[in-house]
Amino acid sequence: MSSVLTVEQREQAGSDSYNRFEYQVHWIVCHIIGKLQEDAECIVFCEFHDDMAEFSPNNQQYQFFQIKTKEDSSDWTIAEMSKREKKKSGSYKKSFLGFIFYNYLTFGAECSHCHFVSNNDFDKEVLLWQSYIEDGKRLQTENIALYEKIKDRIKNEFLDDMPSNFDSVFEEFIQNTFVHKSELQLTTYESQTMGKFFNHLADKNIPSNTANLIFQQLLNDVRKKSKEKIKVPISMKSLVEKKGVDIAQIGKKIDGNIKNSGNYDAFHDYLITQSLSDKDINRIESAKTLHDTRWLDVNDVKYQEIVVVLRKTISTYCESCETNGFNNDLKRLCIQELQKHNLLSDSLDKSLVEVLYYEQKFS
């Protein structure tokens, strides 16, 4: 079984201030938006072994991200990135770089890359290190003094429990750890993230209130999953449910609902052809608006399941029966199917079945 799914997390406390937590949440959402733009197939995990982890189903590997903020404008140095804080017990925590090294040490081949992200820039030594490895060159060959400086700092953190494979793990660490200056500023990260999301949806013909709803739901989902505590070992299925955001699934859901929400005029024209009264048309259109909103909510799992069962039932009914319009037989059949799946709700509205029926016929 994957060591990432079985190893106890070193901490589950999260960011130590509200502003740092919110910055981290918004950076993760920005990362998700970027992956949506790339049509990437990956799963983002919030506060899992690091501030964020990204899993690629294609190669079964993880990338880990530390997201750190600084109030002052000073550049990050190797000394600062490898600085250790003293605990109340008198022992010392691992440094930022020490924790990154720990990921390579603990997870081996499952850890492909690690990243250190901050609102501040980095000094010349850090940028020199990065310049070599970004060009695919070995730091040990290009700049032995800088290589040994970083190695000594990391080695000092593991003196009490020196791994036998320290040298080989350090080579993975030094060649595959990348630093990034975030585009998000401490004073404007909220508006920057919202702007990036709206830009992503700019050419998709979606009302601004619907786009804002999707954005707020994505933010809340990341907040919730960042705070969720888990116990290991854990299955990948449960981990995704509790702490994961599946990029491909979000992309499909957004695109599907954008397509539907952009067709209100055409849907209205279709309803007029169905010999419905103005009152019924208004009722069905209102129910469709409510349905589109709930269907976009990634947290409303039961509603998603209800709609899937109803759509399958309606599709089968339409294929097997000659019908010129919605009728009570279809509603009774839908209720029976929901009962079979233990999904029947007292709040089930006849209008939802009508909406899904007319969407099926319209499509």
Residue pair 181/121 in contact by the 8 Å Cβ criterion? yes
Q: Which residues of 89-120 are buried (b: 16+ CB within 10 A; e: fewer)?
A: eeeeebbbbbbbbbbbbbbeebbbbbbbbbbb
How many structural domains does the chain have? 2
Final residue belonging to a domain, choices 214, 246, 278: 246
Q: What is the mean pLDDT of residues 84-113?
A: 94
**pLDDT higher than 80, residue 248:** yes
**pLDDT higher than 90, residue 97:** yes
- The pLDDT tens digits of the residues spanning 155-181 come to 999 998 999 999 999 999 999 999 999
Local confidence band at 205 (pLDDT 50, 70, 90 cut-offs): low
Final residue belonging to a domain, choices 181, 213, 246: 246
**pLDDT higher than 70, residue 263:** no
Residue 133 located in a structural domain: yes
Cα(162)–Cα(191) distance, integer angstroms: 46
**pLDDT higher than 60, residue 13:** no
Residue 347 shares a structural domain with residue 239: no
Cα(294)–Cα(288) distance, integer angstroms: 10
Q: Which of 147-156, 222-231, 344-353 has the lowest mean pLDDT?
A: 344-353
Domain residues for the domain of 320 are 263-362
Residue 252 located in a structural domain: no
Give the pLDDT score at 251: 84
Residue 310 shares a structural domain with residue 216: no
Residue 185 located in a structural domain: yes
Cα(165)–Cα(96) distance, integer angstroms: 20
In the chain, alpha helices (H): 18-37, 78-81, 96-107, 124-134, 139-142, 144-157, 166-176, 189-200, 208-227, 236-243, 247-261, 264-272, 278-296, 301-320, 328-340, 350-362
Give the pLDDT score at 40: 94
Residue 256 located in a structural domain: no
Summary mean pLDDT of the chain: 89
Local confidence band at 6 (pLDDT 50, 70, 90 cut-offs): very high
Strands 111-118 and 61-68: parallel
CA angle at 198 for the pair 194 and 200, rounded to the nearest 5°? 120
Q: How far is CA 35 from the centre of its chain?
A: 9
Residue 194 located in a structural domain: yes
- The pLDDT tens digits of the residues spanning 296-308 come to 665 677 887 888 8
**pLDDT higher than 60, residue 14:** no
Residue 66 shares a structural domain with residue 187: yes
Residue 142 shares a structural domain with residue 189: yes
